[in-house]
Structure 1
Amino acid sequence: MSVPLLQVDSLEVTYAGRRRSAAHRALDGVSIELHRGETLGIVGESGSGKSTLGNSVLGLTPILGGRITFDGQDITRSRGRARRVLSRRMQAIFQDPYSSLNPHRTVGQSITETLEGTGVADRDERRRRAMTMLANVGLDESSYDRFPGQFSGGQRQRISIARAMLPEPELVICDEVVSALDLSVQAQVMNLLADLQRERSLSYLFITHDLSVVKHLCQRVIVLRGGRIVEQGTTMQVLEDPQTAYTKRLVLAAPVLDPKRQRERRIERIGAVTTNFPTQRGA
């Protein structure tokens, strides 16, 4: 098997407690591998550590222990210029399309900032590339000179995607990118991400609380609870045959279109046992 594009080994992250409260271990010995062209789903409830994992890879969170390797290079504590160079190859799309864009800057100003340090200094060339990318995500040329407040939530998330894709990264960390959108817009954004992945051979680290979303994009899934991996496997394995009560509860919580089946799932979820489950399932 090829060398992973991203490898995380025994990662530990601890947040200091407030006042007299004890420190919180957000990640406790988490190890993952992500290969080129693959989408790996990171799933768990709020507080499970999934966003902390993404932020650790991006260099946004101090790391207590463990190692992060990107394309064979140790980036665990990369800072300054090294991290800026790395950002050309690694981008992120966050949950809230409203707060992720500066309302006082035009769309063109916001997305071309990701070209800083890439060697594209010519202003006209930046504009041309940005307008091409906006077209690739389904927005017309007039979007370039408009402000974020003039767009819907789904359109703003497309802008965020365009901004992340503009420097032609190899890895994109998607942190709850569709959770703030309604179901019809969710489907459009997921289809767009899938199309861009095929065209550009991208790797996605796809962070979500919703297992119904991962089945559309992810080849493998890792389930986090309390900062630890409790289950992992192919998407089909985890969705069709969850091995822990916690994962089963996440599966049952996923929305379905059939109201009768939704009621049945709700009853099953209420009755699901959430204790005495294995520590981890092998991939």
Structure 2
Amino acid sequence: MAGLFRKLLPKRFRKEGVTIPVVRLHGAIMAGGSQFRPALNLATIAPVLEKAFSMKDAPAVAISVNSPGGSPVQSRLIYQRIRDLAEEKKKRVIIFVEDVAASGGYMIALAGDEIIADPTSIVGSIGVVSGGFGFPELLKKIGVERRVYTAGSNKVMLDPFQPEKEKDIEFLKGLQLEIHDVFIGMVKARRGHLLADTPDIFSGLFWSGRRGQELGLVDSLGDMRGEMKKRFGEKTRLQLVSASRGLFGRRQPGASLAGGMAERFAVSAVSGLAEVAEERALWGRFGL
């Protein structure tokens, strides 16, 4: 009789297996973003995380990470928000690496109570990188005079239109070392008891998921669907949690095509192209 009664209930009232919320953290990590290309950062992902961790009956939250890295600040903020919600809602966090969880992508993966990767995933790249271009002779060649006025002797540090200065490079490297130390501390705090005894782990190198498991960067190898069914039963259902419609690029009340909308559209388009180039460079480091 109980089975018959359950079948007569509307589907939304039936309890058939466990439902696991799934959050996808995919893309390069950077502040800002545009209506053309939403970035992966705390502002864009916080509502999705809140929604996933608020599913009361779920024993865990599954998070799919596929990121070559980007902003260390945004990476750490996302990591911290996941840990805060996990402790507040008493949920286990299981991270699944897809193509890559490197640099800031791996920093986010550290928020997992477990990290599971595919044997061919790329993990690691625990380091800090800064990059840019220098054009010290360009303006002279095209007949342009640049005029810069500053208050503060270091306001034009690392100016791409001036020759590099040794003291500027030393300053930047010191800053990178500080950020690298924070990253290393996070890895040791979360996975120190599992890590292989080799300095290569913190050198910026990256490895396959299989080698990452040997080094202690990854707990096991597998895929989300198979692992969730193994842990919670064959009737386990994965429910993708996504942002509410209109969260990205929503028109503000009262906005019109007049009053600078065309200009804003043009600026957004140019900004979007720059973001695409930056993201392409991040993925390109890993052959993706």
Alignment TM-score > 0.5, same fold: no
Q: Which structure has the highest strand share of the two?
A: 1
Q: What TM-score, normalized by structure 2, do the two folds share?
A: 0.31
| Structure possessing the higher radius of gyration over alpha carbons | 2
Q: What TM-score, normalized by structure 1, do the two folds share?
A: 0.32
